Amino acid sequence: MSDAVNYSVRDGIAVIVMNNPPVNGLGSVLRPGIAESMHKAEADPAVQAIVIIGSAKAFSGGADIREFNTPKSTMSPTLPEINDMQDRLKKPMVAAIGGFALGGGLELALGCHYRVAAPKTQLGLPEVKLGILPGSGGTQRLPRVVGATEALKMMTTGNTVTADKGKALGLVDEVVEGDLLEGAIAYAKKLVAEGKGPRRIRDLTVKVDGDPQAFFAAARAQIEKESRGYPAPLQILGCVEAAASLPFDEGRKEERRRFGILVEGNESKALRHMFFAERQTSKIPDVPEDTPVRRIERAAVIGAGTMGGGITMSMVNVGIPVTMVEMKQEALDRGLATIAKNYASTVSKGRLKQEEMDKRMALIGTALGMEAIKDADIVIEAVFERMDVKQDIFRKLDAVMKPGAILATNTSTLDVDAIAAVTSRPQDVIGTHFFSPANVMRLLEVVRGKATANDVLATTMALGKKIKKVPVVSGVCDGFIGNRMIEKYGQQSLFLLDEGCSPQQVDAAVQAWGMAMGPLTMGDMAGLDIGWEIRKRRYQERPDFVYSKVGDRIAELGRYGQKTGKGWYLYEAGSRKPLPDPLVDKIIEDYRRENGIKTRAISDAEIVERLIYALVNEGAAILEEGIALRASDIDMVYLTGYGFPPTAAGRCSMPARWAWTRWSRPSRDFSRATRAACGSSRRCLKNSPPKARPSPITTPGSRATRTHTRGELP
């Protein structure tokens, strides 16, 4: 038997211990050992009952992700075969669940005839989060134990339940307070003493609240409303309906059929890609995983503005004390009040306890000078986006901070190397580019300067995970990964306005495609002054870089978006709902007329192509330049920082699907694919110049004459 499974017999109880760290994934090293142990126990006349247990941390996290998509994952005995064996056992089998039982892990526990659990255990079938459904009888067994309503709730949300809730639902027979294994053995002995044999879930019937037809019709209507086109929840409903109306084996067949449909679908492919992509981001080829990290026990944040406040919250949320530094007391008071207001709003919604808010607020200190933070392990600068201001701060930090402190900047566009260069310790300097609101957004671009030490990078990545972000490494360039790409997207959105679209049409088209919001609504949210400042810089630095100036017309009027109550849209006081503004339509029309731009009808498909390919092209360039470590890191930046739809591939029937599926390929392959998807007439890579084509649209207002044709990427 493999080392991953330990088998012993204690007082007539066979004990099967699973030992496949880190989460007891049910891989090819574990499954044969479990099956063999069950055979042994069944054949041994001295054994009266069986207990199966994992580690204190994990009963089992389900399938072993290291074996995903390998022949090992389907090697016999498979989990369904083990479940069938459990159903055939003549002796009762008890699952002793500690830590968590998730996915296949819970299906293994559901194959057992009884379940006991440690108090803090989490139980769940989260497959829906990967766009699939529990494929080893979970959809048939769970409703037979907890009823159709609760089973649907658990499986369509993927949320876990605690041991106590599991007990209330009948999923857990006993919560064991002390030693779990001892408790489970005692429970098994009690079963034997009471003459209780196997209690097979397959023999139970599903409890449905009310008339089954009406129940499932109502459930279907609700899921259709809430699942936003994702197919897995509806397929799960179909399985539960089968569990309630068909014999167990027929229901299992239905489960397999529906599982197969989902596994082949684009949504689940995209969600699984995302699952693995997230795990890849922390793998840095020249920074081994065992690189020693520096201790981070105390942090400081310079600047208590929008970002400084959010960054501080992210830290204190996980118990890291933070001192915020400002130039004036009023700014500190304002920053602290904003944080308190944010927490209070979460408390009022019942999502945070008042004591927890008080605990977090107590972790925040304030100071007016750098001296107070000299012992911090990391300091994150979040002041105005100006090189002279940032360099001045880094000179001061260099003078006061203890040796070995990490000096981080939250700059969104500036050169991290130029900031590091003013210090005597550039190896300790790194970029930590948070996204707004920093306490909410999961993305953290970790900008590796040319001198950044490996342990500084490893420590910052680990800190990023600790504060529950998705840290993605970026090289130094203007805008790093995300903002460099979004600039091309924004640029294209302005061209679309020039050529005949309204802001509403542009936004609606990409939103229907799946983006969380359109580019103009996003501009209003971020502040139109930010993009305007960048463009003004571009006009000086890159006169060859063509931009429509229609956006400048809006910003010149002081219309900076939500913060001024008007931008591309109008906002009523206290509302973030964008309302169309006839004045904006007039500004756009005047701009077109003054610049001799002829308009035409532009389809939604063209809008989406031009916007998404603008992202794709810049992403390809970023890969080729080595700014991003891998294609999937770019995906994570867009998924976690920019509202890119996880299931884009499934939602659109246009060639943009290529963008998604090819994004994760090596860049050359990717760029070829993208070129194919864009069509041969289009320029798809920065370094693949377009063929000269007649230009139907020129904008004399630009410094250079614009020469893009319909749908062509400039």
Residues that bind ligand NAD (CB under 6 A): 302-308, 325-327, 331, 382-385, 389, 393, 410-412, 434-436, 526
Q: Which is nearer to ligand NAD, 191 or 378 (CB)?
A: 378
Q: Is 43 helix (H, G, I), strand (E, B) or coil?
A: helix
Catalytic residue among 36, 42, 67, 107: 107
Catalytic residue among 127, 241, 254, 381: 127
Q: Give the shortest CB-412-to-ligand NAD separation in angstroms.
A: 4
The DSSP letter of residue 479 is: T
CB 545 within 8 A of CB 488: no
Residue 407, phi then psi, degrees to nearest 5: -110, 110
d(CA 333, CA 112): 58
Q: Give the shortest CB-437-to-ligand NAD separation in angstroms.
A: 8
Q: Give the shortest CB-314-to-ligand NAD separation in angstroms.
A: 13
Q: Which is nearer to ligand NAD, 245 or 317 (CB)?
A: 317
Q: Give the shortest CB-432-to-ligand NAD separation in angstroms.
A: 10
Which amino acid appears at position 157 of this protein? T
371 has catalytic annotation: no
Q: Which is nearer to ligand NAD, 53 or 307 (CB)?
A: 307
Exposure string (b/e) for 360-375, b if CB count within 10 Å is 16 or more? beebbebeeebeebee
Q: Give the shortest CB-445-to-ligand NAD separation in angstroms.
A: 9
Residues in contact with 196: Cβ distance below 8 Å, sequence separation at least 6, in sequence order = 92
Q: Give the shortest CB-586-to-ligand NAD separation in angstroms.
A: 29
* Number of other residues whose CB lies within 10 A of the CB of residue 353: 11
* Number of other residues whose CB lies within 10 A of the CB of residue 691: 8
Give the DSSP per-residue string, 235-272.
HHHHHHHHHHHS-HHHHHHHHHHHHHHHHHSHHHHHHH
**How many angstroms separate the Cα of 564 from the Cα of each of 533, 572, 575, 677?**
17, 10, 12, 40
Q: Which is nearer to ligand NAD, 245 or 436 (CB)?
A: 436
Q: Which is nearer to ligand NAD, 513 or 560 (CB)?
A: 560
> Which pair of tokens denotes residue 453?
């030490």
Q: Which is nearer to ligand NAD, 380 or 639 (CB)?
A: 380
Q: Largest Cα–Cα distance in the chain? A: 94
Q: Give the shortest CB-480-to-ligand NAD separation in angstroms.
A: 10
- Among 640, 675, 641, 643, smallest CA distance to 659 is for 675
CB 324 within 8 A of CB 301: yes
Which single residue brings its beta carbon nearest to ligand NAD? 305
127 has catalytic annotation: yes
CB 429 within 8 A of CB 452: yes
Q: Which is nearer to ligand NAD, 65 or 530 (CB)?
A: 530
Active site residues: 107, 127
